[in-house]
Structures are given as C-alpha cells and as structure tokens.
Structure 1
Amino acid sequence: METFLSVACTGSLSAAARELDLTPSAVSRIMTRLEKRLGVRLIVRSTRKLRLTSEGESYALAARRILKDLADTESSIASRGSPSGSIKVTTATAHSRLTIVPLLKEFLQRYPDIRIEIDVSDQIRDVQAGHVDVAIRFGQLPDSGLHARRLGETGRVVLASPDYLAKAGAPQTPADLAHHNCLDFSFRRLEPGWPFRENNQDYMLAVSGNVIANNGETLVELALQGIGITRVGCFHVQQALATGQLVALLEDYNPQDREAIHAVFIGGHTMPARVRVFVDYLVEKMTGKAKTAD
C-alpha cells in the first residue's frame, strides 16, 4: 500500500523508488504483484506519466485510511508502556485554580514524559475538531460522538457582598432582581437566564446588569467589590461564603439544580495513552474510582 501510494503521489515509478529507497524494478514488481492479486489495473502507464484508473482512485482512498489507522494504533500501543507527549486540557478558570492545578504535581511525577498545556476559559473549546485533548465540562452534555467520564457535580448559588446589600437591599423574591444589578456570563449557555423554583414550579428568569464576563472568577471578584449580584457554581465561593465576604441570596427559591462535571475526550481504540492515563488520574483523584477510560 505504501509503495502504491508513493507511485500515485509522485506519478512515476522511478520517483517512488527514490522516495522509498528502492530500485525502480523493485517498485515495478510490487505494483505488478498488487494488480495481479486484485485482478484489476490500478495505474495506466504512459511514456510521460502514470495515472490512476478509477479502481486505483478507490484503492488509494482506502489505502490512506487503512495506513493512518494502522499508524495510530501502533502509536497508541507503543506508548502504553511509558506515556509521553503533550496533552491540551481546557477547564473553567476557577476550577483550574482550585481543582485541576493542585492535582498536576503528582500526575507529572507519575508521568514525567508528559507535557500539559492548560487552556483556562469558561467558554467551550471544540474537542471533536482536535483543538483540545480533554475538556472539563459543566452541566448537561450535548449529543456528540465524544466520550465522557463523570468527575463529580456542583450546585449553584445567587450571592452578593454585604456592602452591596447595605446599599441596594437584599432581594426577597426572584422578581426583585429586576431592580438589582445582576452580573452574568457573556457567552450563551444552555439556560437563557437564572433558574428558580416557586410554588413547586421551576422557571427561568431573565436578568440584566452593567457588567458581563466570560468566566466565573471575574464575576465573583465583581461581586466581592460590591458591584452587583451574581450566580455561579458553589466551588467558586465556598471560602467567601464561609468567611462572610459573600452572602447567599434567595435560597428558598433555589431549585437545587446540580451541574455534573465531566472530562470529555475523543475515545476509542486509537485514544493516545497520555490522554487515557490523564483521564483515569482525574477520575481517581476526584471520585476515588480508578477505572480505565475508553
């Protein structure tokens, strides 16, 4: 297959021979045996250049796919003994600082030949297009061909600083938020507003304010400065709530919705060992379960 593809790409037996470090006669014999085994002509020889027949075009497409799959599989198997290479991981800003970064030292000690690139953003990066290897995702996962491993879950809370509440007052019902400066995410989420539960009914409430941000850490910092009210994942603000720097609001209307946390990645038999061991490590440390990623 490799010889055939070289001939197809170069358009010449002699050029393919030079590329493969073979003699032209050896390349010619390989092509003859291949056509004899298949029982069809794959190339048409002329005095100036070779061209592929329709059967040759079909065989070239299949050969490229097969050789790529074989190379990927061999690379995956060969690297399982000592995983190496680069992993690009994307995660939310606060989750990176509070959860992922503290876990990296031990992982890098276990696998010193792996290099990690961290993309810190609350916006979703495209795993399927190959932009990242592992994405830490919060909330409901859209349907896709990707694989996912559950890492945990978090609740969400509406909150503000005591300084803001001293100036603007505390909202008593979700409807009161219409009179408050609500700090929200700048990117589109699956939910078009903030969810609340009232009289056993769940609903979404649109909110507005004078600042929006693309990450939860910024919203928390704005809330700490007394600029407004925000709603973020509980993992962002556990310490600030415990010390009284921030105050939880409207808890009687909190729907107690939980956001699942997943590691999302491209799985399958060609999954690189470096990605496999990283996902397994996250599951081990964040859930206490050591199970092989697939």
Structure 2
Amino acid sequence: MARLEVNRSGEMEVFVRVVERGGFSAAARDLAMTPSAVSKLVTRLEARLGARLINRTTRKLQLTPEGCVFYERAVAVLAGLDEAERGASAAAAPAGRLRVSVNVPVGRQFLLPLIAGFLADHPRLSVDITLTDDVVDLLDQRVDVAIRSGPLKDSGLMARKLGSVGQMIVASPGYLAAHGQPRHPDDLHRHNRIGFAYARIVTGWPLLVDGRIVSVPPSGNVRVSDGDAMRLLAIAGVGLARLTDAAVRDDLAAGRLVPVLDAFNPGDREDIHALYPGQGGQMPARVRAFLDLLATRMRVA
C-alpha cells in the first residue's frame, strides 16, 4: 500500500527534467516549481531508493552510475506512459521533441531535404538535428536516432539498415594538373591524402592490386572532422580524398572532381544504419514516425 502513496511517475518526470535541463533551477522553471522543492523531491527519491543518483557540485550536476541506469529506465517508463495516453486518445499523434544525430554528408544529401515534409505531416513534433561525423553516445547525449555509416559495433542499440554507398578516390583537375595523375597505388605515397581527425574502424584506403586488397593509409598535411569538409578541400585542390560516390556524384558530373585509380577500386560498399535505443519494439511515437520516414522516403544508394 505504501507504494501507491508515492507519485513515482511524478518523481521520475522531475528527475528526468533535472538531468535534461542540467540543474534544479532550470527544471524548476519548466515545471513551475521552486528550486528547493525540486531539490527536496530528488533527495527524497534518493532516500527512498537508497542510492545517490546525482553528484552535486557548485558548477554542475553529474549522474552517478545508479543515476544513469535510473534515468534511462525513467525515460522509457515516461515514454511508455505518453504512448499509452496518446494511444487512448482519438487525436493520437506523434508529439514532442525528436533529437537526431547524422553524419554530415548523409545529413545534407539525404535527410535534410525530407524534414520540411516530415514536420508538415507531424505538426506537434519539433526536431533537433546535429550534423557530425563524431560517434555519439545516444543515451549520454539523449539522442533518439543516430544515422551512421560503416560497420556496426556491438552497442546494444537497435539498428535499421537504410542502404549502402560505394567509395572512391577523387581529386580536382587542378590538383592533378599540378601534381600528376596517379597510375598505380604505389604512386599514392607521393600525393597529399586528406584524412579524418577522429578514430575510424576502417583506417586505410583499400585498393585491389593483383587480385588482393592492399590498404594505403591517408597521410598528408590536413585532417578534417567530417566528409563534407574533405570534399570541399578536395575541390579546392588540397589533395586526394576517398569519399562515398553519393557524396561526390554532383561534383563528378560538374567536373569539379574526377575519379583517381578507379581501375583499382575494390568495389566495397559502406552500409548506412539508423540506430536507436529500445528493445521489443517499444519506442516513442515520435521515434517510430521518424523511422517510418527513413524507411519509406530516404533513398541511400
């Protein structure tokens, strides 16, 4: 009976708001409460659970390991409650804020053109989109869906394949006129090869030589944080770049870039996946609507 006297969903909502807003005062403003009332509620929650959820310092709040687990599960519980309430309503529709992280080339070429129609179809939704090639922790950064290229790690996340893209080495006509056209993979060592400034699962450029794959690491005087920056530098004549064929399709057609060592291209393809938390098909309506958009409208190839 004692459990029924505790508004556990209310405690969860306050705790989640504190975490997402980064402090008691900001959460209190959102919830029309006083900061002291919010602080006391979180303290009472910790006492009831017998575990510290948040380490408080003068400058910021930091979740404890127990707090991270409780936050993740509280978000899922609250999402389930929202889903149940919307499902029981005649006007049920995806609502709330959707947080999406997508790598830069895929975001600019494939996703962003779909957002206007998506928001028109779902007027109760708002979308936060972060374009970055960095690998993000979905739970830590409270991302609903991440769209990523390349091999999947064993992360415990759900994944939905959206398509795949090929890879190719390219350069600008101006760069090749100044530095010469590579005729064999061995020639790459005499060229500036633009690389990425972050860790990648596939670190080298694979090339097919005499029936076997050799890997040539990018090595040059420039490294970048995303594929679109690499593409622009290649167009500017800084060096060679290995990019997806989808990312450089328009540049090839316009003559801004040309293929390099295409006869040695092994034809490897890079899969594109949507990653999202959740098990057993349970997810907020906003996430389901976005995944449906990707499955039906986003053509990655």
TM-score, reference length from structure 2: 0.72
Counterpart contact for 2:111–2:298, Cα < 8 Å: no
The aligned residue for residue 277 of structure 1 is 289
Counterpart contact for 1:153–1:259, Cα < 8 Å: yes
For 1:207 and 1:287, locate their aligned partners in 2 and report how far apart those are by CA, in whole Å.
Answer: 29
- AA aligned to 1:142 is K
Counterpart contact for 1:128–1:146, Cα < 8 Å: no
The aligned residue for residue 47 of structure 1 is none
How do 1:12-91 and structure 2 match up within 5 A? 68=74, 71-80=78-87, 81-91=92-102
The aligned residue for residue 24 of structure 1 is none
The aligned residue for residue 194 of structure 1 is 205
The aligned residue for residue 135 of structure 1 is 146
The aligned residue for residue 228 of structure 2 is 217
Q: What is the DSSP-based 3-state SS (H/G/I as helix, E as strand, rest coil) of the residue aligned with 1:106? A: helix
The aligned residue for residue 167 of structure 1 is 178
The aligned residue for residue 3 of structure 1 is 5
Relative distance call for 1:123 and 1:70 in structure 2 (3 A) is closer
The aligned residue for residue 103 of structure 2 is 92
Q: What is the DSSP-based 3-state SS (H/G/I as helix, E as strand, rest coil) of the residue aligned with 1:259? A: strand
Give 5+ residue unaligned stretches, structure 2: 12-46, 52-65
Give 5+ residue unaligned stretches, structure 1: 10-51, 289-294
Post-superposition Cα deviations, 1:55-111, rounded to whole Å, max 9, x if no partner, equal x969xx9xx89x946544222222352110111111122222211110011111110
The aligned residue for residue 112 of structure 2 is 101
For 1:146 and 1:251, locate their aligned partners in 2 and report how far apart those are by CA, in whole Å.
Answer: 36
For 1:57 and 1:209, locate their aligned partners in 2 and report how far apart those are by CA, in whole Å.
Answer: 55
Please state how far the C-alpha of 1:130 moved relative to its aligned partner: 4.6
Q: What is the DSSP-based 3-state SS (H/G/I as helix, E as strand, rest coil) of the residue aligned with 1:226? A: coil
For 2:158 and 2:147, locate their aligned partners in 1 and report how far apart those are by CA, in whole Å.
Answer: 12
Counterpart contact for 1:134–1:275, Cα < 8 Å: yes
For 1:4 and 1:127, locate their aligned partners in 2 and report how far apart those are by CA, in whole Å.
Answer: 30
Post-superposition Cα deviations, 1:176-201, rounded to whole Å, max 9, x if no partner, equal 11100111111111012111111121
For 1:195 and 1:136, locate their aligned partners in 2 and report how far apart those are by CA, in whole Å.
Answer: 24
For 1:213 and 1:82, locate their aligned partners in 2 and report how far apart those are by CA, in whole Å.
Answer: 41
For 2:79 and 2:255, locate their aligned partners in 1 and report how far apart those are by CA, in whole Å.
Answer: 53
For 2:284 and 2:77, locate their aligned partners in 1 and report how far apart those are by CA, in whole Å.
Answer: 13
Counterpart contact for 2:168–2:243, Cα < 8 Å: yes
Q: What is the DSSP-based 3-state SS (H/G/I as helix, E as strand, rest coil) of the residue aligned with 2:247? A: helix
Relative distance call for 1:2 and 1:72 in structure 2 (3 A) is farther
Post-superposition Cα deviations, 1:201-255, rounded to whole Å, max 9, x if no partner, equal 1122123111110111111111111111111111211011112111101111111
- AA aligned to 2:285 is A
For 1:190 and 1:168, locate their aligned partners in 2 and report how far apart those are by CA, in whole Å.
Answer: 30
Relative distance call for 1:84 and 1:147 in structure 2 (3 A) is same
Relative distance call for 1:72 and 1:100 in structure 2 (3 A) is closer
Counterpart contact for 1:160–1:230, Cα < 8 Å: yes
Q: What is the DSSP-based 3-state SS (H/G/I as helix, E as strand, rest coil) of the residue aligned with 2:110? A: helix
Counterpart contact for 1:76–1:270, Cα < 8 Å: no
Q: Which has the larger radius of gyration?
A: 1
The aligned residue for residue 217 of structure 2 is 206
* RMSD of equivalent CA atoms: 2.6
For 2:285 and 2:7, locate their aligned partners in 1 and report how far apart those are by CA, in whole Å.
Answer: 29
- AA aligned to 1:286 is M
Please state how far the C-alpha of 1:129 moved relative to its aligned partner: 3.0
> Does 2:272 match 1:265?
no
Identical pairs, percent: 35
> Does 2:255 match 1:244?
yes
Counterpart contact for 2:110–2:299, Cα < 8 Å: no
Q: What is the DSSP-based 3-state SS (H/G/I as helix, E as strand, rest coil) of the residue aligned with 1:153? A: strand
